[in-house]
Structure 1
């Protein structure tokens, strides 16, 4: 690294600084930009979109997403993805005419698609603001320090891969990083891992707090299948380690098709058939069918059945399965050497899974392995076939003015009352409390939940100041993170944070003051509704717990 690059230290100022360009960060920036403010947005990778793009995960959504249960701008993302396929690919007449086109006919979502398409759509949404000069985007940068006084963040310094540093300042600073990385840098009180039942009263929490007990993260990859080819990779050096890796609750080695059923914890054998025949009607409704019983179709992002013959030689599917959940340790609040070791371990596990699929996986015909399986990095924007970043399920979480607990939304606890109705609602969401196995040795925790709201108080640190949570780092617990971490909810959280910062700028107030004043809360909510937010679920028998 040259000295002049390492010493470069630029300064930039905007009204609002958003650290982290995942779904929450992009939504926050767009909310502020629509209101006429200037924004600096940073992102650790070269793609915006986080779990939807750089992490390679098709959207996990509730079953009513096509009609209600998301903000207007989130719907614009989904519409943009479908429009891309209609404009640029040879869809069959039936697929082109389908209002609810699902390019991959995957079972995890009603909109399974290539991550590269979502990245392009998000870039298109921010492009007018970049051209106008009101939005500055700093890609491939990560926060390395912050200056703050009594919860007020004065500056945030981000670093690029060449060692160049950029000092950023704004009236409001939003943390939309995947792991809540700004919180320790700025001295904002936060929580990691599992809170104890003695603190939260949650039935599914451990008796005592376990700060290092964090949901597994995964390094996903994309696969296609060449029936007549042999694309077998070199045997990974640590393959024997992963081939024999067997958590005590797994019912066998992780490299296999047997894994716990998340809801019963009993052993469940999944099937896997590359380019399996596509059923006529894919439901893609996890309230009725978890979707992961057939792994090829589960997260398939391109299905040949949707396109004219000859366009695709193979379907393309995303491998984000239980078998690649990394359980050997957390990457939160550890030294850099430990973090790098666990990140490398997650990639190694995924590579071992690929090799096992190519060489040892049992086939329906009695044979072993599919050597024609091969990586498709182009759909993930990489040369190696792996996502640009690991899929992060759990972040540091602010100690908030309001913390959402299991008692707020568990169907077993709330029953026909439904989830708690918050007077300061800034949005809605729905998903089961779905916690993957953890670094502390926990099996799945899977709890039926009721359609819920997002309380404003969960976005604001208890100590006040000018920092807002704009992603998975809002005031949930380890348990309720399991249903507040999904795509439309993260987008809504970030969008509400960007709107709140804007409201405070325009009214000369602070987030804590807004939260404490019912009149201001009501005025803010009116603005949200005008901007396409849904603050309460429809009063309908269709909207139910699952």
Structure 2
């Protein structure tokens, strides 16, 4: 067997001989096909490869990574929890709020972009993100992880290609099944077909859904479509989030700026209106306007907003040589002032229009980014220089626009406003925790960058606040099409909830979940939807995800490397053992467990039909005893549990390991040895982590995993 040749890269791009460029009319087959250049496409590719399955990734550019790279937005949009520092009661955010693989990617970026020879938490030092590096550094780190698979021939990477047709098999009485995709190489106009067992829709705009006429939604839905009360009665497909071409510029020494030049139509075309631009912005602090606007180079101004490279140790210091990404949205210019905007493009949409119209808006949006840089350079900020060496372009403007919203598949599960927004979970620390969770995400609010189309839904007050949420497996599965997994921004969100699920860490989580899902479908020889509807396959998938350091449920005191991470996460996702107190995110792994909690967990796990007699068995467990009355009565009826004497059950009394062992031996004798292989059946009081550890083994025996 020939020795794999090393795969080389330069400036974040693989050598040309690394890529596969199919001949015209060629038809190829691979177990998994991932379509698109998004962040999710990359994460899915890496996950499937780590599962041992060969993958073909077809994307529109040479660079992998989507938001972090081709879209020139490497300053990750992180939620507050991801920034959390470790304390005696909780772990560091990067060890519980994202996956182990995503954390490794973040850490590798820090190693590649050191500050004065020293590894720091935030090399760029931008104020909107706790981690920012250059697009080239992000691409380099991503390439390193997939290079070994390219060298071994396990990954086929096809660049510069876009899907033009979806191939399906339509059998009477069966769901339509996607079997392949026809692509066109944009550089040489070759067309080729990739056939696959499982295909991931990971394009930036949900193009496979349109090409295949697969059930989908565009823009803002009607209330009747999703049941979201914040929506109007009429669907408004043109109400979509704006998109943006990021521009990477360096602050130079005085007089050393390099003019970018005005685009054609500057200050005459509506999307190039200089009156909309500002170099300073007004900011509200605790509901009050600050006394003056923040100038461009203010420590909390526009330049440092998404700064990606710096020279000074102090994050607030802005020096010549520092580099930023201009990605600036709409803001009000002072109290009662006009609404101004940076390079967000608001006058057209990319989804639900012809390809010609799409390309026209893409070009106009790119011109707008150029116009914004030109405005800055001619209105008080001359010392800027485009850094095309960091964007793989001549002018420092990204290869592709930063996309906030795509065509969304109608999925088995639709994630609604009522599933994530704070008002629907009063007094709770989490949003809805789906029992088929395959990931988690968090962004502190529903960040809707509306376009100029009238009629956008209003989310007043706390309706815009998003609690920590989960990613249901059902949102990745098209409602009536097999062979396809929804990924990136095409999953089963709505116009509203997409605004939180579109962020960098969440899109990565979506991709990882899809990659492992595809691998399990191939390995098990089943349809993707079978995994969602089969309890054994669903828990097997969740076990695989958690063994690979992917959280499924929000706990801020259980890290990836916790020895009971898998057990705690899967049982929590399944609704067997969750939090003691739903007002915080703690699991409290070392806390004691009482008899009522154990009874409840056992009944849920074993799926017993509940017994709720009118006359209680115990004097201290009456019908109004919280949640546990039918659970305890069910175990008693099945002769698994008994009282402690004098017609008492003592539901609040801590249970011992030995007592749990008696219950397990009666409930499922076949699981006993496996359940207590790592937990002694002694008289020590049982801890919450031990309960999860034991019952997870019971679950696997019960399901035959």
- Asked if these proteins are the same fold (TM beyond 0.5), I'd say yes
1:72 corresponds to? 100
Q: How does 1:224-239 map to 2 (within 5 A)?
A: 224-226=250-252, 227-239=254-266
Q: How does 1:227-376 map to 2 (within 5 A)?
A: 227-241=254-268, 253-257=275-279, 271-274=294-297, 294-306=301-313, 313-322=320-329, 323-360=342-379, 369-376=380-387
Residues 262, 496 of structure 1: alpha-carbon distance in 2 compared, 3 angstrom cutoff: farther
1:82-141 alpha-carbon deviations (Å, 9 max, x no partner): 11124xxxx336xx254xx21110012111110111111111111010111111000111
Residues 9, 440 of structure 1: alpha-carbon distance in 2 compared, 3 angstrom cutoff: same
Q: Secondary structure at the match of 1:171?
A: strand
1:466 corresponds to? 483
State the 1:517 CA deviation: 2.0
**Hey, what's the Cα distance between the residues in 1 that align with 2:288 and 2:28?**
54
1:435 aligns with 2:421: no
Residues 20, 244 of structure 1: alpha-carbon distance in 2 compared, 3 angstrom cutoff: closer
Q: Secondary structure at the match of 1:499?
A: helix
1:234-284 alpha-carbon deviations (Å, 9 max, x no partner): 3333122268977xxxxx94212577979999999852334x5x6xxxxxx
Q: Secondary structure at the match of 2:45?
A: helix
Residues 374, 435 of structure 1: alpha-carbon distance in 2 compared, 3 angstrom cutoff: same
**Hey, what's the Cα distance between the residues in 2 that align with 1:464 and 1:18?**
17
CA contact (8 A) 2:110 2:119 kept: no
2:149 corresponds to? 129
CA contact (8 A) 1:243 1:253 kept: no
* Larger Rg over CA atoms: 2
Q: Secondary structure at the match of 2:347?
A: coil
1:334-382 alpha-carbon deviations (Å, 9 max, x no partner): 122211211111012111111111112xxxxxxxx22221211111122
Q: TM-score, normalised by structure 1?
A: 0.86
CA contact (8 A) 1:451 1:543 kept: no
Residues 380, 230 of structure 1: alpha-carbon distance in 2 compared, 3 angstrom cutoff: closer
2:425 corresponds to? 414
**Hey, what's the Cα distance between the residues in 2 that align with 1:171 and 1:6?**
19
1:277-315 alpha-carbon deviations (Å, 9 max, x no partner): x6xxxxxxxxxxxxxx511111000011149xxxx8411
Q: Which of these residues, 166, 175, 178, is aligned with residue 146 of structure 1?
A: 166
1:30 aligns with 2:46: yes
**Hey, what's the Cα distance between the residues in 1 that align with 2:235 and 2:349?**
16
State the 1:321 CA deviation: 0.3
**Hey, what's the Cα distance between the residues in 1 that align with 2:369 and 2:522?**
46
**Hey, what's the Cα distance between the residues in 1 that align with 2:475 and 2:22?**
38
1:519 aligns with 2:551: no
Residues 207, 263 of structure 1: alpha-carbon distance in 2 compared, 3 angstrom cutoff: farther
2:495 corresponds to? 478
Q: How many residues align?
A: 501
CA contact (8 A) 1:6 1:163 kept: no
Q: TM-score, normalised by structure 2?
A: 0.67
1:174 corresponds to? 200
**Hey, what's the Cα distance between the residues in 1 that align with 2:458 and 2:441?**
19
1:193 corresponds to? 219
1:218 aligns with 2:244: yes
Residues 504, 230 of structure 1: alpha-carbon distance in 2 compared, 3 angstrom cutoff: closer
1:398-429 alpha-carbon deviations (Å, 9 max, x no partner): 10000000000100222223311111000100
State the 1:206 CA deviation: 2.8
CA contact (8 A) 1:215 1:439 kept: no
1:118 aligns with 2:138: yes
**Hey, what's the Cα distance between the residues in 1 that align with 2:585 and 2:529?**
32
Q: Secondary structure at the match of 2:488?
A: coil
Q: How does 1:196-211 map to 2 (within 5 A)?
A: 196-211=222-237
Residues 145, 243 of structure 1: alpha-carbon distance in 2 compared, 3 angstrom cutoff: closer
2:129 corresponds to? 109
Residues 302, 443 of structure 1: alpha-carbon distance in 2 compared, 3 angstrom cutoff: farther
**Hey, what's the Cα distance between the residues in 2 that align with 1:235 and 1:132?**
47
State the 1:21 CA deviation: 2.7
Unaligned runs of 5+ in 1: 247-251, 279-292, 361-368
Q: Secondary structure at the match of 2:489?
A: coil
Unaligned runs of 5+ in 2: 1-20, 83-93, 170-174, 330-341, 558-582, 587-705
CA contact (8 A) 2:228 2:417 kept: yes
Residues 259, 393 of structure 1: alpha-carbon distance in 2 compared, 3 angstrom cutoff: farther
1:8 aligns with 2:34: no
1:389 corresponds to? 400
1:92 aligns with 2:116: yes
Q: Secondary structure at the match of 2:425?
A: helix
**Hey, what's the Cα distance between the residues in 1 that align with 2:285 and 2:216?**
30
The structure, 1 or 2, with the larger RCO (C-alpha pairs under 8 Å, 6+ apart) is: 1
State the 1:26 CA deviation: 1.1
Residues 395, 31 of structure 1: alpha-carbon distance in 2 compared, 3 angstrom cutoff: same
**Hey, what's the Cα distance between the residues in 1 that align with 2:485 and 2:32?**
11
2:627 corresponds to? none
**Hey, what's the Cα distance between the residues in 1 that align with 2:388 and 2:269?**
23
